[in-house]
Every structure is written in C-alpha cells, then in structure tokens.
Amino acid sequence: MSDTDKLRIDKWLWFARVVKTRAAASALCEDGSVRLNGVRVDQAHKAVRIGDVLTIGLHSQVKVLKVVALAERRGPYSEAQHIYEDQSPAPPPRAELPSPVAERDSGSGRPTKAERRAMDRLKDGDD
C-alpha cells in the first residue's frame, strides 16, 4: 500500500475543515473524541483510507463522515466538501430541546433583589 492511499487523521480533519487548525485536530484525537470505523482513536498519526467512517464528537453534537477522497492540501470549503460524505444523524427538532431555566432580555441589566429571589425560588422549587 503506497503513501498516497492513506493520510494522517489529523491532517484529514484539517483538510476537510472539520476543525480550524491541525493542532485542534490533534487535540480532538487525543481527547478520544474521534472514532475510526468504530474504534476510538487516541493518536493523531493514525492513517485514514478511502472508505473509512469517522465518528466525531464536536460541540455537543456527533458528526459521522465517510472518507470519499484524500486531499493534497487544505483548500476552500467548496473543495473540502468533496472529500467526505456526511452521514450524521439529523439534529433533534427544536421543540425537544430543553428550555433554559431563566430567560432575561438582552440588555435589561442585573436582576433586582425581588427578581433574584423569584429566580432562586424557581430553581430551588420552594413556594
């Protein structure tokens, strides 16, 4: 198998524009947030080949990417889209996401003492 048939996983993640820097790609691998064909990757030098499936935990969501091509360089986003096939599950509908505990209008300043006590009662469940 020649060197053109494989590429380091951190380079591929950077070329595919999954992360902004190669150092961030290495950190992602070392954190254990990347799986290659279902096997956890803990080193950035693991080889990626065409047909491999990467599962990436990134920003509280899971991305599933199938390697379609190996890039020569980090090109623009339009080129990067052609080196993988996104098989990620659809995000949950907005209605199923939990609502925040307390919402305040932006720019309304600090809560008053009465508002703070009301928020504390709401959080603690006291009546």
Reply yes or no on whether the pLDDT at 125 is more than 80: no
User: 89-118 pLDDT, tens per residue?
Assistant: 887 776 666 666 667 677 678 888 998 898
Answer for the pair 68, 13: CB distance below 8 angstroms, yes or no: no
Return the CATH number of the domain spanning residue range 3-90. Answer: 3.10.290.10
| Per-residue pLDDT, 123 | 86
Q: Is the pLDDT of residue 127 over 60?
A: no
DSSP state of 48: E
Pure H helices in 16-88: 22-30, 77-80
What is the C-alpha separation between 14 and 30, in angstroms, rounded?
Answer: 15
Looking at residue 92, the DSSP 8-state letter turns out to be P
pLDDT at res. 94: 67
| 3-state secondary structure at position 19 | coil
Which amino acid type is present at position 90? A
Task: Identify the pLDDT of residue 7.
Answer: 92
Could you tell me the pTM of the whole model? Answer: 0.69
pLDDT digits (tens, 9 = 90+) for 42-75: 999 999 999 999 999 988 889 999 999 998 999 8
